[in-house]
Copies of this chain bind each other. A is one copy, B any other.
Amino acid sequence: MADIIELREAIATHVSDGDFVALEGFTHLIPFAAGHELIRQRRRRLTLARMTPDLIYDQLIGAGCADALIYSWGGNPGVGSLHRLRDAIEHGWPRPLSAREHSHADLANAYVAGAAGLPFAVLRAYAGSDLPKVNPQIRFIECPFTAERLAAVPALRPDVTVIHAQKADRKGNVLLWGILGVQKEAALAARRVIVTVEEIVDDLDAWPNACILPGWTIDAVCAVSGGAFPSYAHGYYARDSRFYTAWDAIARDRETFSDWIERYVLATDDFAGFRRKFDETHGVAA
């Protein structure tokens, strides 16, 4: 049963140093508020999984939260490289990061296998690619009926999955819509689940066959309005593409990055504090 609590408490209760954590959201509904809270609470030695480790993981990695990364595409969408991710892989700053690289189809299937209680997933993939040479977690099996050779990848089963969604009701049932990504699978694959939501309502007013996670599959639901900023929440606010563009210059330099994290994340109390500080410095009317 979902506890409806503050994000600070949810992270403190459910995420420990050394945990295997997935923060998912496929350019939509990225749980930035939860990412900041992990940085603020100085979580260390996390293994982070995410199909698309964009700015949220650049921040976590640059802030020294992670020892390992499982991913399939690491970039700043529409802008370029993730400088903190590259610096960690290429130069071990601020600490070495071991990276295990897959393809999108692989990780999507690996979350499905995790959600489905299977130890592995089967997919048509990787024949002729070099990825299996550098990733021992990619293997091949034979179809027992046709003798076809297919790829097999281990299920992803995070200790904690964190996602952001549009709405929850007071029982902690969560509704999301629009670009769904792998959030439902990542949540169902995890041992513990934290969901931040734009708002908590009396009634979800969900349409038939909507994408819902029932409250009894979730450990903590936290109301964090704007919690996906600078990504977007369909029906609530648009993506702040300027933030993504500006991130390139911030993340390119270690000191500029560290100052940014200090000022906007570590020196603020919570995500609302971050937004106030950010809006002040960037001339946005409150």
Contact = CB atoms under 8 A, between A and B. Distances in A.
Interface in A104-154: 117-120, 122-124, 137, 139-141, 143-146, 148, 150, 152, 154
A120 B139 contact: no
A interface bracket (residues with beta carbon within 8 Å of B):
20 to 34
A145 B152 contact: yes
A135 to B, nearest CB: 13
A80 interface: no
A145 B119 contact: yes
A112 to B, nearest CB: 10
A180 interface: yes
Given A119-B148, A122-B122, A208 B141 contact: no
A201 interface: no
A138 to B, nearest CB: 10
Interface of chain A: mostly helix, strand, loop or mixed: loop
Q: How many copies does the complex hold?
A: 2
A281 interface: no
Contact of A141 (B139, B140, B144, B154): B144
Nearest to A147: B119
A229 to B, nearest CB: 21
Given A122-B118, A124-B117, A208-B177, A145 B141 contact: no
Interface of A: 117-120, 122-124, 137, 139-141, 143-146, 148, 150, 152, 154, 177-178, 180, 207-211, 234
For the complex of A and B, the 9 pairs showing the least CB-CB separation, nearest first, are A177-B208, A207-B207, A119-B143, A119-B146, A139-B144, A145-B154, A144-B152, A120-B143, A119-B148
30 contacts: A117-B124, A118-B122, A118-B124, A118-B150, A119-B145, A119-B148, A119-B150, A120-B122, A120-B143, A120-B144, A120-B145, A120-B146, A122-B122, A137-B145, A139-B145, A140-B144, A141-B144, A143-B152, A145-B152, A145-B154, A177-B209, A178-B208, A178-B209, A180-B209, A207-B207, A207-B208, A207-B210, A208-B210, A209-B210, A209-B211
